[in-house]
């Protein structure tokens, strides 16, 4: 009887050991050090590890907890498990999943509608902050068109604080809003492009926050149908930002009545200077610009990356650098825009900004490989 008990005990131990070996394998196919938020479909994840929504994730080698988020994409049910990881060049990372509550973490991303400032919609992560302008600003003398960038040098989330203090055009140690948008596309917005001319849309009319941290914030801005150059055009922009990234991901769904494709441009505001520091790389599909320093505020880097669509670089516009493309009705057009500030002391030169943009584009083209074993 003792031998039977002993055999059963060994069998149970082996079974539990096999169960405990279920692992997330993440492989880096590039020569880059990468810190990213990876996404795993929740259905596959829950089935593989036998968990519901209460679990923790640990680095298998160090035993340290890894931050994760349950992404719902505006739904009631969980769609994806998001995990922030650091991984060395050409390396493999192993993560284990445990049936224990995850530690509470401080959010690194955030977005909100700002009715107290003319319907702004603002968002940020631990590195950068942006905003789009709303309906209440239209028609005012201070109306602007494109995307605004707030220069941060703190990892704290500042949107609520800066709006409450209403003094964000001065740097009190956390950064400031000195970026000028005006009648341009600013830090990477888009406009329609008929007859070789930019046609700005009205500002957004509705918004929907899909997820709001701690690792990824995503939201949708909805624009009402509008007659532009004799064509009734409607569009939505779904924007997401991940912790630790200088870039947003922007997905545009556009529909124009009476035509299958609509010409548009994405752009970056130019400044008045004789020798601008910018580069368009047709092979990498990137455009970056390193602004001059005005009033000792610092240097701003702005960039665009269009991974798939056919694009044409337009440099002769007096107000902005443009990338032109044509978008099919109801077909997602995806691009990325990013920003950096030299006084944040992470990216401090035009060369460093160009390198960062190139590395970011490579990371999108060669995503981390994820397997559940």
Instruction: Show the DSSP H helices in the chain as ranges.
Output: 2-20, 42-49, 159-165, 350-365
Phi/psi of residue 121, nearest 5 degrees: -125, 120
- Mean pLDDT across the chain: 94
In this predicted structure, the answer to whether residue 17 has a pLDDT above a threshold of 60 is no
Domain limit, last residue, from 104, 119, 139: 104
| Domain match, 71 and 166 both | no
Looking up residue 221, the CATH number of its domain turns out to be 2.70.98
Q: 6 lies in a domain? A: yes
Stretch 126-131: mean pLDDT, rounded?
A: 98
Q: 124 lies in a domain? A: yes
In this predicted structure, the answer to whether residue 13 has a pLDDT above a threshold of 90 is no
Total-model pTM: 0.93
Stretch 112-131: mean pLDDT, rounded?
A: 98
| Domain match, 93 and 154 both | no
| Domain match, 74 and 204 both | no
How far is it, in rounded angstroms, from Cα 81 to Cα 68? 7
For residue 16, the model assigns a pLDDT of: 44
In this predicted structure, the answer to whether residue 225 has a pLDDT above a threshold of 90 is yes
| Domain match, 179 and 290 both | yes
Domain limit, last residue, from 86, 104, 122: 104
| Domain match, 151 and 31 both | no
How far is it, in rounded angstroms, from Cα 335 to Cα 325? 11
Q: 243 lies in a domain? A: yes
| Domain match, 96 and 160 both | no
Domain containing 90: what range?
2-104
Cis peptide before 214 (omega within 30 of 0): yes
Structure confidence at residue 8 as a pLDDT band (50, 70, 90): very low
| Domain match, 160 and 58 both | no
Structural domains in the chain (count): 2
Q: 328 lies in a domain? A: yes
| Domain match, 91 and 182 both | no
In this predicted structure, the answer to whether residue 9 has a pLDDT above a threshold of 90 is no
- Reference 253, options 239, 268, 269; nearest CA is 239
Domain limit, last residue, from 83, 104, 125: 104
Q: 11 lies in a domain? A: yes
| Domain match, 206 and 126 both | yes
For the residues of 209-247, what is the DSSP string, one character each? EEEE-SSEEEEEEEEEEEEETTEEEEEEEEEEEETT-SE
Return the number of other C-beta atoms located less than 10 Å from residue 237's C-beta: 21
Q: pLDDT digit string (tens) for 312-353?
A: 999 999 999 999 999 999 999 999 999 999 999 999 999 999
Phi/psi of residue 359, nearest 5 degrees: -65, -40
Q: 372 lies in a domain? A: no
Q: pLDDT digit string (tens) for 231-259?
A: 999 999 999 999 999 999 999 999 999 89
Q: 252 lies in a domain? A: yes
Q: 370 lies in a domain? A: no
* Contact yes or no for 331/275 (Cβ under 8 A): no
Q: pLDDT digit string (tens) for 263-318?
A: 999 999 999 898 999 999 999 999 999 999 989 999 999 999 999 999 999 999 99
- Reference 244, options 371, 82, 365, 102; nearest CA is 82
Instruction: Show the DSSP H helices in 71-192 as ranges.
Output: 159-165
| Domain match, 114 and 96 both | no
Structure confidence at residue 20 as a pLDDT band (50, 70, 90): low
């Amino acid at each position: 009887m003792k031998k039977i008990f002993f055999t059963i005990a060994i069998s149970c131990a082996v079974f539990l050991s096999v169960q405990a070996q279920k692992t997330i394998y993440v492989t880096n196919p590039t020569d880059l050090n990468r810190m990213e938020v990876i996404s795993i479909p929740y259905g596959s994840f829950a089935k593989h590890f036998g968990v519901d929504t209460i679990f923790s994730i640990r680095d298998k080698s160090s035993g340290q907890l890894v931050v994760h988020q349950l992404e719902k994409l505006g739904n009631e049910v969980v769609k994806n498990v998001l995990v922030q990881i650091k991984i060395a060049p050409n390396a493999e990372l192993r993560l284990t999943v445990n049936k224990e509550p995850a530690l509470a973490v401080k959010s690194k991303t955030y977005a909100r509608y700002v009715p107290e400032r003319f319907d702004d919609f603002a968002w940020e992560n631990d590195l950068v902050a942006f905003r789009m302008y709303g309906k209440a600003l239209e028609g005012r003398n201070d109306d602007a068109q494109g995307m605004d960038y707030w220069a941060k040098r703190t990892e704290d989330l500042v949107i609520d604080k800066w709006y409450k203090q209403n003094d964000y055009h001065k740097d009190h140690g956390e950064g400031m809003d000195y970026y000028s948008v005006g009648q341009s596309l600013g830090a990477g917005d888009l406009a329609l492009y008929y007859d070789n001319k930019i046609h700005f849309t009205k500002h957004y009319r509705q918004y929907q926050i899909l997820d709001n941290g701690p690792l990824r914030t995503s939201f949708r801005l909805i624009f009402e149908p509008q007659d532009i150059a004799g064509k009734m055009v409607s569009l939505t922009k779904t924007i997401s930002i991940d912790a630790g990234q200088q870039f947003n991901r922007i997905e545009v769904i556009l529909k124009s009545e009476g035509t299958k494709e609509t010409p548009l441009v994405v752009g970056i505001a130019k400044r008045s200077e004789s020798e601008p520091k910018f580069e368009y790389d047709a092979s990498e599909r990137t455009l970056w610009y390193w602004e001059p320093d005005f009033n000792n505020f610092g240097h701003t880097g702005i960039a665009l990356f269009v991974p798939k669509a056919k694009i044409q670089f337009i440099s002769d516009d007096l107000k902005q650098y443009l990338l032109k493309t044509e978008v099919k009705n109801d077909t997602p057009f995806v691009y990325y825009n990013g920003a950096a500030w030299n006084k944040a002391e992470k990216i401090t030169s035009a060369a460093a900004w160009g390198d960062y943009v190139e590395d970011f584009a490579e990371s999108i083209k060669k995503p981390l490989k994820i397997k559940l074993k």
